[in-house]
Amino acid sequence: MSWQMINLRRPLEFRYYSREKNCSGYYSSVAKSAIVQPFNYNAPEQIHLAYGDRIDQVFVSYVTNSSEYIPECQYGLNASSLQWHAQGTTITYKASDMCEGKANIPGPQTFIDPGYMHTIILENIRPSTTYFYRVGNDQHGWSSVLSFTNRPANDANAKVTIVAYGDMGAAPVHPGAKSTMDRIRAQLMVNNITCVLHMGDISYA
């Protein structure tokens, strides 16, 4: 048996339980795994893009386990030559910032530490131009090189095609989430999509 492990930036233990035969609603522990550690607690995860207020702005966001270093983005017009560089800001939130239980209670099965959320603004981005980029830093490592195409210039005759979706499930490994991603990927392969909008919930995306 195998499955995809989600990097929650913490040690994980997998347990198997068996339901009692009398259907009492109780379960007994059958087996548990060794403690599994992420390969890199500070690997850039959950990379998102958003348009800025100006046509030449694109926001890049991602999550890591640490705020020790300033978040960075390297980008350029060629995947093998990321000649430009931008730095950003970092925020997080605590259990005390949440509105109600179980989210505002520290401890197992309650509040989950979100890590640190980094946001970088890329400016002077040309309209309808493809850029390649990666996020992270030299100390904790970089993401793979990704790409995006900026929106068209402000032209009433410009064609814009948008894919919008939301509330796709709690994790990429859920069947419903996978089906949604497969459909979006199929649209991107056969159509000239301007952008993809995730309408929320996005806290787990």
Q: Model confidence over 84-135: pLDDT tens digits?
A: 999 999 999 988 888 887 788 887 778 888 899 999 999 999 999 999 999 9
Cα(4)–Cα(35) distance, integer angstroms: 15
Contact status, residue 203 vs residue 167, Cβ threshold 8 Å = no
Both 107 and 188 in a single domain?
A: no
Strand partners, 91: 117
Whichever domain contains 143, its CATH number is 2.60.40.380
Both 164 and 139 in a single domain?
A: no
Cα(28)–Cα(118) distance, integer angstroms: 42
For residue 197, give its domain range: 159-205
The predicted-structure confidence for 119-178, as pLDDT tens digits, reads as follows 999 999 999 999 999 999 999 999 999 999 998 888 778 888 899 988 776 665 667 777
Global pTM exceeds 0.85: no
The predicted-structure confidence for 71-98, as pLDDT tens digits, reads as follows 999 999 999 999 999 999 999 998 888 8
DSSP classification of residue 56: T
Parallel, antiparallel, or unpaired: how do β-strands 72-76 and 130-137 relate? Answer: antiparallel
- pLDDT at position 67: 92
Neighbours of 84 (CB within 10 A): 16
Say which residues have a Cβ less than 8 Å from residue 27's Cβ, sequence separation at least 6: 17, 18, 19, 20
Both 48 and 148 in a single domain?
A: yes
Both 167 and 69 in a single domain?
A: no
- pLDDT at position 173: 60
The overall longest dimension of the chain from CA atoms, in Å, is 68
Number of domains composing the chain: 2
**Amino acid identity at 204:** Y
| 3-state helix, strand and coil shares in percent for the chain, rounded to the nearest 5 | 10, 35, 55
Both 178 and 192 in a single domain?
A: yes
Six token digits for residue 31: 């087996």
In a domain, 6, yes or no: no
Both 118 and 185 in a single domain?
A: no
Mean pLDDT value across residues 18-39: 84
**Amino acid identity at 5:** M
- pLDDT at position 204: 47
In a domain, 27, yes or no: no
Both 85 and 149 in a single domain?
A: yes
In a domain, 99, yes or no: yes
**Total number of residues shown for the chain:** 205
3-state secondary structure of 112: coil
